[in-house]
């Protein structure tokens, strides 16, 4: 496409967009202006896509013929389904007191009892207002303190 044709095409596009915006505003006020602007934008994008020269896409190598095959992860989440459940309980316990009371606190209590260390969970008490079941859960620092105490040496 020659330079003169591009200039004429660009001028025609600008005049067309301006006419569409003016008609939209005249027909429906600001709402019509917004609608016409959306359609004009769509038209400009379609026009721009049509003017871009088709380029051949770069070659993609077959995945089976890579030089260095990477091994999969050593540990998969499917190997430890309880971990995903516990991680979810810990996240939800930070959001909601109800999730802490009914999900994580019993789990931590059972874990502490099985380790013979009920003290870290007993020290926690009840976070926030005990009368508000929808109140905030346990803060992250408290959960980290409990987990660190449970992971520590007896």
The tens-digit pLDDT sequence of the chain (154 residues) is 688 888 888 888 889 888 888 998 899 999 998 998 898 888 878 877 777 776 676 777 766 665 555 666 666 767 778 888 888 888 888 888 888 888 888 888 888 888 888 776 765 555 555 556 677 888 888 888 888 888 876 5
Query: Taking the model in full, what pTM does it have?
Result: 0.45
| Cβ-contact 13, 47 below 8 angstroms | yes
Q: How far apart are CA 144 and CA 110, in angstroms?
A: 17
Residue count of the chain: 154
Helix (H, G, I), strand (E, B) or coil at 59: coil
């Amino acid at each position: 496409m020659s330079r003169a044709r591009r200039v004429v095409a660009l001028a025609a596009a600008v005049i067309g967009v301006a006419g569409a915006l003016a008609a939209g505003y005249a027909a429906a006020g600001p709402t019509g202006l917004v609608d016409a602007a959306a359609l004009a934008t769509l038209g400009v994008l379609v026009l721009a896509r049509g003017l871009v020269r088709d380029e051949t896409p770069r070659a993609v190598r077959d995945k089976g013929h890579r030089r260095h095959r990477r091994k999969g992860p050593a540990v998969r989440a499917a190997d430890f389904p309880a971990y995903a459940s516990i991680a979810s309980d810990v996240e939800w316990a930070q959001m909601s007191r109800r999730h802490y009371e009914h999900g994580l606190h019993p789990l931590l209590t059972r874990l502490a009892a099985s380790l013979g260390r009920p003290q870290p969970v007993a020290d926690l008490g009840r976070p926030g207002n005990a009368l508000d079941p929808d109140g905030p859960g346990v803060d992250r620092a408290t959960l980290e303190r409990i987990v660190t105490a449970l992971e520590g040496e007896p």
